[in-house]
A and B are shown apart, each in its own frame.
Chain A
Amino acid sequence: MTNSTLINCCIHILLALFMPPLLLGVIGKTKAAFAGRVGAPFLQPYFDIIRLLQKGTVFSTTTSWVFRAGPIVALATAAVAALLIPFGAHPSPISFEGDMILYAYLFALGRFFTMAAALDTGSSFEGMGSAREATYSCLAEPTLFFALITLSRLSGSYSLNGMLSNVSSGAWLYAGASLLLLIGGMFIVLLAENCRIPFDDPNTHLELTMIHEVMVLDHSGPAFAIIQYAASLKLFVLGAFFVQLALPFATGHPYLDWGVFIATMLLLAIVIGIVESVMARLRLVRVPQLLVAATILAAFSTLLVIR
């Protein structure tokens, strides 16, 4: 391992550790700007996590170890996924043939434990939230796989590093139509997987309408801080995948590339903030329709590259 790879590896891990909550801060600030408010500081999500970490935790006596495992597994899976995904032009620290399957199912594992922890409480709200989450994630999964198939077909590689490094301005020239469909589908999945408007409203306090938030209603203190952090990490990791597809800029200079990556991630946060500001939540019965539309977009992008 050369010196520069070591430095890049450290930067990768540091970014994955410390940057995710900033995205939430940027989204919040963007929404505040649209609503004509000053808004919370950019660093508010960090303050929230620190505040929660200092609190005590209450565990219901009806819950078992599954309830406690939920936040930890969610964080662990998101963290491993963060090591598999390349950040911008820089390759990921861990990479092997077929790691894309692991990447996809790490999220499924985290989700499974979040849902199991929710069901463990026996609350009817959390049961409803789990049911919704299970339905929508089933519908979101095919889109991700069509995307991975398209990318591996374009690059001839089965690892995320190879697939995503192949996407460049050059790839946009010969497979632009396919990639355009792909980022359409992936953007929908990005919003759905991270429970953003129009699928879910992360700011709502209405227990009957929530999806992700209702599943974590019974977690408190440090466990809830872990959940908040894991959710932002998930947004960061899926966002990194998306920006590499949509904005594959590379300067060739390693430090400039890190700057480009950070800038594109912040841009993504602003775009999500704008989407959340200009539209309302979908009615829950309409959510599957939009997810199926995303799958169809991704499926057509696959069709276009299989000649």
Chain B
Amino acid sequence: MRNVYVLGTGMIKFGRYPDKTVPQLGGAAALLALKDAGILIKDVEMFACGNLQQSNAMVGQRILQQIGQTGIPVINVANACATGSTAFREAYMSVAAGMYDIAMAVGVEQMGKAGLLGGAGGGGDPAYLTEGKVGSGTMPAVFGQAGIEHMRKYGTKMEHFAKISVKSHKHATKNPFSQYRNEVSLEDVMNARMVAYPNTLYMCCPTGDGAAAAILVSEDKLKQLAGGRKRAKVAASVLTSDPWTDRDLTLPDVSTLTRRASKQAYEKAGIGPKDIALTELHDCFATAELVHYENLGLCGDGEAGKFIDEKGGVHPSLGGKSPVNVSGGLLSKGHPLGATGVANICEVVWHLTQDDRAKERQVPNAKAGQAHVIGLGSACTIHILTV
């Protein structure tokens, strides 16, 4: 496999764009990435587009119908919340395999004020819908239980989860691309409206609209096109699905597939968690972030509560040794499903390349970073990028 580099990135501020269409949002991010790469759409040889909620609607082709119908191969990718990162991986693989030298990945989603996800749906007589009658499959309840499992195993308290929300909201104040940029206190988080215990409103990611894009190139093309600019290498691109575990079919197990992906990613990149300068991980809920500290090896098993408790040292905040979600994370930056996976990679790339777009929250001396995404159902991607 060939080395692959991220030549350009583009992202629109996450938020709500009721006057735009999905192809317009995705097209805007694609243009930003092309401009950042210093190339034109006619230079792109392959395009992987990630979008979930219009996954039957040829979003990739419709983006090209906005920005340039060059006739290149387009694939539309859906993989739950890992949709964008899976599209990125498809583009990565096409270059790594030697099929193409320049590929583009776009992740885009328009959710508006979607409210709850999960647990509903199904055709037929609504009398047979089980949601609320035979337990809950809503995302806040599912991820609430993932946190409660940690409480059960290790005595973790609700305050630990709440501190994650405080940390990530603080980070978001330094990110102009973030959907929300307000600080919250521990009291604010603890006393906010409960959505599904132990996740209060500020411990749940918002719904919204957004798009992000990346241009991936081979080493030869990098030499031709980078013009001496520092560019990040894709040191590992891993995708796993949920293996059989005891309760996975009843309560989705978000840990085992993440641990497998993490092990593979570190091995492929030839580095370990201590070498990672920043992590963007899938904090759809504060409870999810806490369990992933351990799943990604940022702290030992059972130590996640201590990890978020400690001041300084290995704390996951900006300025700590292992900063997590300096973008504000899904909790503040937002989680437009298909856009998330590409946006997380953009964030890591910006820190590694000292890009102005991360200026206010720059992690110093960042040589390696990782972006982790979980799509419930389940898919896990981890990308490690290095300079």
Bound together = no
The interface of chain A, by Cβ under 8 A from chain B, is none
